[in-house]
Amino acid sequence: MTTLTIIQSVKARIIFNSRGEETVEVEVKTLGGSGRASAPAGKSKGKYEVAYFPPGGVREAVEKLRSTVEPRLVGLDADNQKLVDETLHEIDGTENFSRLGGNTAYAVSLASAQAAASTHGVPLFAQLAGETSNLRLPLPLGNVLGGGKHAGKGAPDFQEYLTVAEGCGSFRQAYEANLQVHRRLGKLLEERAPGFTRGKGDEGAWAPRLGNEEALEAVSKAAEEVSGEMGVKVRVGLDVAASSFWDSRSKVYRYESERRTLGREEHMDHVLRLIQEYRLAYVEDPLEEEDFQGFAELTEKAKGCLICGDDLFVTSREKLEEGIRLKAATAVIIKPNQVGTVSDALEAAKLARGSGLVPIASHRSGETCEGHLAHLAVAFGCPLIKAGVLGGERVAKMNELLRIEENYGRALPLASLKT
């Protein structure tokens, strides 16, 4: 009997992400179905991420997929995700996907998973998770105000100001809370930020000319007002993205928006004060990406706040194991294209959960208009999904979670910050 999930073809094309940059989209066809997936791109990247594309860029990646990848994958069973992903590693032969490109590998890996799900007539999250009895819908962690590399000169140094709603009865309510904060914040910024033009950064968050703490005060005010109106608890978080303003030569953090520098200890004290004073729920990359010990010290002191590593871990099992040993964080960002395949990202999420860390599925600043990340968040057991608030490429993830909630809500209760 012929297996309907046998791969028949693997095709690629060049498309554009939300920043207008070229990226790769892949279609995988089986005997009984098909899957399509594309790769996002980050602007704030950890130095240990895989290479996005080979030296020749997207066009070389597409050519290599045609000449090298497709011949090896045709005939494999898309149901065997691990085999597909191991084959991609074998074809590339490097530690960082520098020959094929990690984005190429990710798009192929995800398209193959989608093709298998299509063939079986099941949602992608069920295809990847297998066992679905303990799955949850993630809480949306929404970027409402941006700075750093996602905004421009004059914006805050901190990269993202985030909100997450607790005590919600549904994913829809939790997402609507983030939407309301974004809207309320826009009005507050018109009053508080000189010359505010309602400009936005790469991820649809407001990008005002404000200092770091001025921005935090505005976000906290908007969150407080929406909390009272909706009857939920909207909490605030930060993605400091500290590596982006760390001066490795001088060993200081350069706060360009405030025209000052802070040494490592001063910076740590500053971040800790913000956590305590504003009762932050979440802080991502509070220190530069090599400072495991500093992360551990801050994690020990910052009770009640998730300390999350992104550039610190880059979804790498090896990096995550080091962080677990040092107790360097209580949460980890899971970005599949940082490691190249769905299997690699799934292993990182499992390792995090098994070690008591909270895995958080995350978008990239240069996204594509598809909802696969919603399924990965559910399949990987992520209590939180960080995917923005506004912008078609961000809303695509939220809308997909609304569809999942509508169709599977009874079997998929909403997660909480404590799960």
User: CA separation (Å) from 120 to 6, 131, 393?
Assistant: 12, 15, 27
Measured between its terminal Cα atoms, the distance across the chain in Å is: 43
Sheet-wide strand order for 22-30:
7-16, 22-30, 34-38
User: CA separation (Å) from 394 to 14, 161, 358, 366?
Assistant: 20, 16, 22, 10
> Is residue 393 within 8 Å of residue 368, measured between CB atoms?
yes
Nearest to 142 by CA among 345, 334, 363, 338: 363
> Is residue 107 within 8 Å of residue 26, measured between CB atoms?
yes
Which residues are CB-neighbours of 42 under 8 A, at least 6 positions away?
A: 49, 335, 364, 365, 366
> Is residue 136 within 8 Å of residue 217, measured between CB atoms?
no
Q: What is the DSSP letter of 320?
A: H
3-class secondary-structure state, position 346: helix
How much is the CA Rg of the chain, to the nearest whole Å?
21
Q: How far is CA 223 from the centre of its chain?
A: 22
> Is residue 392 within 8 Å of residue 17, measured between CB atoms?
no
Nearest to 286 by CA among 238, 215, 334: 238
> Is residue 111 within 8 Å of residue 28, measured between CB atoms?
yes
Active site residues: 203, 335
Nearest to 280 by CA among 104, 161, 143: 161
> Is residue 108 within 8 Å of residue 66, measured between CB atoms?
no
